[in-house]
Amino acid sequence: MQLLLNPNAIYVVVSEILDQGRNFGRAAPNSGPRVQVEFVSANPTGPLHVGHGRGAAYGATVADLLEAAGYEIEREYYVNDAGRQMNILAASVWLRYLEELGAELTFPSNGYQGHYIRDIAHRLVVDHQNRFEHPVTAVFADLPADEPQGGDKDQYIDAVIERAQQLLGDDYEFVFSAGLDSILGDIREDLSEFGVDYQVWFSERSLTRSGDVDTALNILESKGHLYEQDGNIWFRSTAFGDDKDRVVKRANGQTTYFASDIAYHMNKFDRGFDQVINIWGADHHGYITRVKAAISALGYDPERLIVKLVQFAILYRGEERVQMSTRSGSFVTLRELRDEVGKDACRFFYVTRKSEQHMDFDLELAKSESKDNPIYYIQYAHARVCSVLRKLEAEGLRWDQASGIASLALLDSEAEKDIITKLSRYPEVLTSAALNHEPHQLANYLKELASDYHTWYNGHKMLIDEVDLRNARLTLSVAVRQVIANGLELLGASAPEQM
């Protein structure tokens, strides 16, 4: 039996795109597994900087792609609101508060130096006057030396924290919360303006308060995976492939950050997710094995946890690399970058390479209006179609979609067939980008589609007298516009109608 292919079959996709619109390429909602995507989760000790931006763009896009592929997605931010760094933040805010009230003091070398600390302190003075004031002599009496005076900066800041807790008493929690709430509120707003929103903001402190940390450690102990040595309680993670065992409770009774992480992952799996995706900075590479070891020891399948590592993007101004340090306060915030180059360029540039690959963020390229700037070139293709339709209307003509679909066979050049073939690949590219957690696949696809369209457009007039051919070309153009808009939406960028 001989199979004959209908030569007009390739044109069917154009009609499908116009019929399905935004849904073209998407699977039925919630038809796939239930997956949690946790990303960014930066310590709320300062504003998000350009390094965090890449994790935000990558995580949000992976979540959106999986959702488009039919997965039921829950986006989560793990708020590291417990531990030493948060205490350093609280102490830093309090000392700046004392300065706002007129106190003269030498700020700790290991405190948080950014101007945002002064802003929080100023608000405390405005709202509460001298409620938290104590004499400087009482604050610094008998403390060990700081680093510039030959001391240890870590011992010194820990002593400052302890003194703050002693003098403030119950008010220490108030100062602590003032710093946390201010910075976390700023992070929420910053991410929302970046097009990143979460269903859940999960507090690390809630793990201790709810008893989840103790519950997780009790389970591990009951299974024989904990032991005591030198007063510390250790998790026998080497039994599950780790290179060494890990402390989960110190001799002073304090549980470690790792203990909280164990409880957090137990909490995740107990919420019934089929799969958990953690998006971490590349510096957390060594943490993967111990977390999977704990998951195994608790009785869960470690393969249900997927960890994607994201290299921080490095920002350049010309040839000069911009140095970033949250502690010193000398960093470019994500908000500053967004204000300079725009949200669309930020979101797109961040996902143009594999997440684990090194990335230099070219500031000048991101701002340029040329074909060398991929996001500009893609958006311009969308705007170009809109411009043609406006000109059509201005000339008193109209686009007849039905006639255009019926006349698609007139588009028989190789360039036109290549565009149509590329359009038909969009669902496949979307699915592959989603399942492989590789947004750059979609970014590259859109660049190619936009380039093909620009080349075709430059070689063919759209507003011609021949009605059927005109409608066919406009119909293909509108299909290209729709797919570009669909793809840009998933990458967190807009599809402007004019540029």
Q: Which two tokens stand for residue 310?
A: 């994201």
Split at pLDDT 50, 70, 90, the class of 155 is very high
pLDDT mean over 309-313: 91
CATH number at residue 459: 1.10.730.10
**Position 195 in a domain:** no
Q: Which helix (H) or strand (E) is 265 found in, with range?
A: helix 257-270
Residue 326 has pLDDT above 60, yes or no: no
Q: Is residue 436 situated within a structural domain?
A: yes
- Per-residue confidence band for 85, with pLDDT thresholds at 50, 70 and 90: very high
Rounded distance between C-alpha atoms, residue 419 and residue 476, angstroms: 9
Residue ranges of the alpha helices (H) in 69-135? Answer: 84-100, 115-128
The predicted pLDDT at position 3 comes to 43
In a domain, 265, yes or no: no
The answer to the question of residue 365 being in a domain is: no
DSSP state of 114: S
List beta partners, residue 200: 76
Give dist(CA 349, CA 335) in Å, integer.
Answer: 15
pLDDT band of residue 321 (cuts 50, 70, 90) is confident
pLDDT for res 4: 42
CB 276 within 8 A of CB 35: yes
**Residue 313 has what pLDDT?**
86
Q: Under a CB-based contact definition with an 8 Å cutoff, are residues 279 and 37 in contact?
A: yes
Average pLDDT of the chain is: 94
Residue 376 and residue 370 in contact, taking contact as beta carbons nearer than 8 Å: yes
For residue 56, tell me if it sits in a domain.
no
Residue 399 and residue 52: Cα distance in Å, rounded? Answer: 45
485 in a structural domain:
yes
Residues 82/260, Cβ–Cβ less than 8 Å:
yes
* Domains contained in the chain, number: 1
Tens-digit pLDDT profile for residues 440-468: 999 999 999 999 999 999 999 999 999 99
pTM to 2 decimal places? 0.93
Tens-digit pLDDT profile for residues 385-403: 999 999 999 999 999 999 9
Region class of 231: left (phi > 0), else alpha (psi between -120 and 50), else beta: left
CA distances from 92 to 46, 105, 110, 154, 335 (A): 12, 12, 9, 14, 23
Whether residue 7 is predicted with pLDDT greater than 80 in this model: the reply is no
Identify the pLDDT of residue 377.
97
Rg over CA atoms, the chain: 28
Distance of CA 397 to the CA centre of its chain: 45
Quick one: pLDDT at residue 212?
97
Query: How many angstroms separate the Cα of 430 from the Cα of each of 25, 40, 107, 277, 339?
Result: 7, 23, 52, 19, 29
Residue 329 has pLDDT above 80, yes or no: no
Query: What is the secondary structure of 204-220 as a DSSP string?
Result: HHHHHHTTHHHHHHHHH
Average of per-residue pLDDT across 324-333: 60
pLDDT of residue 382 exceeding 80, the answer is: yes
- For the beta sheet containing 246-249, the strands, ordered from the edge strand earlier in sequence to the opposite edge, are 226-229, 232-235, 246-249
Q: What is the pLDDT of residues 97-133, one digit of tens each?
A: 999 999 999 999 999 998 999 999 999 999 999 999 9
- Structure tokens given for 63: 């979540």
How far apart CA 158 and CA 93 sit, in angstroms, is 15
pLDDT recorded at residue 203: 97
- Res 363: pLDDT: 87
**Whole-number Å distance between alpha carbons of 306 and 253:** 32
* pLDDT given for residue 330 in this prediction: 55
Question: Strand 226-229 to strand 232-235: parallel, antiparallel, or no bridges (unpaired)?
Answer: antiparallel
- Provide the domain limits for residue 16: 9-24+370-490
Calculate mean pLDDT across residues 180-186: 97
Scanning 342-497, the segments in alpha helix (DSSP H) are: 343-350, 363-367, 374-394, 401-406, 414-424, 426-435, 439-459, 467-490
Provide DSSP, 320-345.
EEPP-BTTTTB--BHHHHHHHH-HHH
* Beta carbons of 85 and 204 less than 8 angstroms apart: no
Q: Which of 322, 302, 299 is nearest to 312 (CA)?
A: 322
Which of the residue ranges 38-47, 165-174, 315-324 would you say has the lowest mean pLDDT? 315-324
Residue 324: pLDDT band (50, 70, 90) is low
Backbone angles phi, psi at 393, to 5 degrees: -65, -40
234 in a structural domain: no
Contact 187, 48 (CB under 8 A): yes
Closest CA to 475 of 414, 419, 413, 426: 419
Q: Cα-flanking dihedrals φ and ψ of residue 85, to 5°?
A: -60, -35
Q: What pLDDT is stored for residue 325 in this prediction?
A: 55
| pLDDT reported for residue 482 | 98
Tell me the per-residue pLDDT of 227-267, one tens digit each, with 9 for 90 and over: 999 999 999 999 999 999 999 999 999 999 999 999 999 99
Domain membership of residue 457 (yes or no) is yes
Helix (H) or strand (E) holding 310, with range, is: strand 305-310
